[in-house]
Structure 1
Amino acid sequence: MKKYINKLFILGSLLFLGSSCENDAELTTLKSVSFPSEITVSSTKIVLTEDTADDQVLLVSWPEVTFPIDAPVTYALQFDLVGDTSGANAWLKAKRIEVGTAVLSKTLIGQELNKIAVDLGLPIDVEGKLVVRVEAAMDRKVFSNPITLTVTPYEKSVVFGEIYMPGAYQGEWNVDIANSLPAIAKGVYQGYVTVLPGYGPVFKLNTERNWAQFYGAGATNSDMVNMSTKDFALPGEGSFQVKVNLNTLKWSATPYSWGIVGTSQAGGWDNSTPMNYDYQTKTWKITANLVTGALKFRLNNSWTINYGPADPSTNTINLDNGGAYDIPEAGVYEVTFKIDEVDPVSNGYPKTATCTIVKK
């Protein structure tokens, strides 16, 4: 009898172990995930020129990808040369553009696609082949089938010069010390301005630091008319990126502000405290009451572009670095942030910037 009991015990153990292995296999097996249909592009043949650098030239769209886990899916685009998309090193040299969570399309303007094409090595003013695919990521990454594009890139002109922006934001209309907007392309200028409370939003645009030639508003606020006495007007108080195109005689202003973020300032990690742009020193500044805690910098109250110190003992801050400065004691601090950003849409944001944090 004892012999039979031992045999039954061994048989039961084997069945239990077999069942456990089967359950474990079921739990650890990844279910297949793929794009349910092909991605699409607005055009497969694109000729890029400097005149259309700001135009929308490519729209990539894709279907929603469903993962077995109920969580947000993050999408990105990858561009590469046809010859670099196979073999052991496939797609390792690809240019990647983060799109975001639950976003199913991405539009590129001419200068963005041109930079990708040139960086990947397509010859200037000659048709070349690029491939684009979509990456979907959650607990793993899956990729769409690629689409081949025929792209003709252009050589960006080396540009110099600046125009000037005398206006009420100064407190006085003084063209001698007015904000300067440096050239970022042929006939295109870009810079930043802050309208403080109590200061007016109106201004002119001058080609020199004098009144020999200037531009004012035309039929609309965005129209530029030579020697017009009608003032341009910014949207109101706050900080803006101002872009002027002498080729089209149009200008625009977009809300734009660097800010401090972290547990040392009022908004914590959720809301930045915006800084003001000092046009004379080309520096972002703020004087604020801070408490003990962390501090770093980000753009437009978003984590898309942010800087933190790789080494908190220095004034150098690094793009997308998770580090932060430690504010050791509460008090009033003057904080400055300076960045050499020249046409970041085309060139990207620099890897480093500088800052100062001084207790008053």
Structure 2
Amino acid sequence: MKKYINKLFLLGSLLVLGTSCDSEAELTTLKAVSFPSAIQVSSSTLVLTEDNADENALLVSWPQVTFPIAAPVTYAIQFDLIADTSGSNAWQKAKRIEVGQDVLSKAFMGIDLNKIAIDLGLAPDVAGKLVVRVEAAMDRKIYSDPITLTVTPYEKSVVFGEIYMPGAYQGEWNVDKALALTAISKGIYQGYVSLLPGYGSGFKLNTARTWAQFYGAGDTNADLKNMSDKDFNLPGEGSYQIKVNLNTLKWSATPYAWGIVGSSTHAPTPEDKDYGWNHSIPMSYNHETKTWKVTAKLIVGALKFRLNDKWDVNYGPADPLTNTINKDNGGAYDIPEAGTYEITFTINDVDPASAGYPATATCTIVKK
């Protein structure tokens, strides 16, 4: 009898397991998912030039893709040569740009699109063909039908030179010690500045370290006007990437700050046990030494560096015994003792938009 009871128990278990598997299979069956309509581009013929390198050149937009599961959809855009989009290695050489969750468009500046085209092998000053498609990902990845673009890229000129930014952020309007904005393209200059609490926001732009010729604000704060007495103004306290385009007589300030991050920067909180890893402490930029710096109270734990309070660009030491830190390295410095530390970060990131971020940077961590 016991033998038959055991057989019945085993049979029942198999029936329950089978029912469970059938139910699970129904829940996770991959139903067909596709883009409901074609993606759109603002133009399919693009002639890129250095003069308009920092202006929007292409807008790619697409319809929302609906998956069987109600969850955010992550979108990305891929560019490739037509010849590399077929066969067993199709799209393997594509340039992929992740856009984000539930975002349905992406604009590309001329400088960014030019780098993509050149990196893929299009010849400068010659019209060539690229294809672009959109990737949607959740429990799997699906792709839109591609669109063909005719793109004429430019060859970036070897440029030299600087312009200067005297202003109240210095504590004095001293053109001799003012921030130097470095030429990154023909007529386009870029640099970094920090506006500390208590300092004014006004500044001018000078083509030499003299007051013989300068630019002030024109019709708006973003417009350059030759010899205008009206000051430009930074948006407020904080650190910024400054870009000036003398071709279009425009300038912009984009929030931009390196920071320290890790378990040494903050104790866990009841709401966030990884608070130190999720919140950077921003550093301020010294334009004279070209160094980012912060004085902070640290606790025992780990420390590394990242840009704009995100993990997109970060540096950690491959060898914690050195002051060299490596891009996208998972390593971190060990802070063995709590206290006040002075931390510096030095990086040659003059033109990250087209040249990328360097493989290494340097830092110092000194207990005061």
Identify the range of structure 1 (96-105 vs 231-240) with the bigger mean alpha-carbon deviation: 231-240
Aligned positions of 1:133-172 closer than 5 A? 133-172=133-172
Q: How far 1:12 moved relative to its partner?
A: 6.0
Per-residue CA shift, 1:306-331, capped at 9, x if unaligned? 32334333323333333332211111
Number of the residue aligned with 1:240: 240
Change (3 A) 1:257 1:12: closer
Per-residue CA shift, 1:164-207, capped at 9, x if unaligned? 11222222222222211100111111111112222222222222
Per-residue CA shift, 1:90-115, capped at 9, x if unaligned? 11110111111111111111111111
| Counterpart code for 1:328 | P
Per-residue CA shift, 1:107-150, capped at 9, x if unaligned? 11111111111111111111111111111122322211111111
Alignment length (residue pairs): 356
| Counterpart code for 2:119 | D
Number of the residue aligned with 1:336: 344
Are 2:298 and 1:286 aligned? Answer: no
Number of the residue aligned with 1:302: 310
Q: Which secondary structure does the structure 2 equivalent of 1:294 belong to?
A: strand
After superposition, the CA RMSD in angstroms is 2.6
Number of the residue aligned with 2:363: 355
Q: How far 1:20 moved relative to its partner?
A: 7.3
Identify the range of structure 1 (55-64 vs 345-354) with the bigger mean alpha-carbon deviation: 345-354
Change (3 A) 1:36 1:323: farther
Are 2:257 and 1:249 aligned? Answer: no
Number of the residue aligned with 1:106: 106
Change (3 A) 1:42 1:250: closer
Q: How far 1:26 moved relative to its partner?
A: 4.6
Number of the residue aligned with 1:58: 58
TM-score, normalised to structure 2, is 0.88
Aligned positions of 1:5-24 closer than 5 A? 16=15
Of the three residues 310, 317, 326, the one matched with 2:325 is: 317
Number of the residue aligned with 1:174: 174
Q: Is the 8 A contact 2:342 2:365 kept in 1?
A: yes
Q: How far 1:24 moved relative to its partner?
A: 6.7
Quick one: distance in 2 between partners of 1:124 and 1:196? 43
Change (3 A) 1:190 1:18: closer
Change (3 A) 1:216 1:43: closer
Q: How far 1:29 moved relative to its partner?
A: 4.3
Change (3 A) 1:87 1:172: same
Identify the range of structure 1 (116-125 vs 171-180) with the bigger mean alpha-carbon deviation: 171-180
| Counterpart code for 1:227 | M
Q: How far 1:339 moved relative to its partner?
A: 1.6
Number of the residue aligned with 2:270: none
Q: How far 1:284 moved relative to its partner?
A: 0.6
Change (3 A) 1:15 1:357: closer
Number of the residue aligned with 2:272: none
Q: Which secondary structure does the structure 2 equivalent of 1:93 belong to?
A: coil
Change (3 A) 1:189 1:21: closer
Number of the residue aligned with 2:37: 37
Q: How far 1:334 moved relative to its partner?
A: 0.9
Q: How far 1:349 moved relative to its partner?
A: 2.5
Q: How far 1:237 moved relative to its partner?
A: 2.1
**Structure 2 unmatched runs, 5+:** 267-274
Q: Is the 8 A contact 2:191 2:350 kept in 1?
A: no
Number of the residue aligned with 2:127: 127
Aligned positions of 1:90-105 closer than 5 A? 90-105=90-105
Q: How far 1:335 moved relative to its partner?
A: 0.9
Change (3 A) 1:204 1:31: same
Quick one: distance in 2 between partners of 1:183 and 1:347? 13
Number of the residue aligned with 2:260: 260
Identical-residue share of aligned pairs (%) = 74
Q: How far 1:294 moved relative to its partner?
A: 2.2
Number of the residue aligned with 2:196: 196
Of the three residues 244, 265, 273, the one matched with 2:281 is: 273
Quick one: distance in 2 between partners of 1:338 and 1:317? 10
Quick one: distance in 1 between partners of 2:150 and 2:250? 31
Q: How far 1:255 moved relative to its partner?
A: 2.1
Number of the residue aligned with 1:184: 184
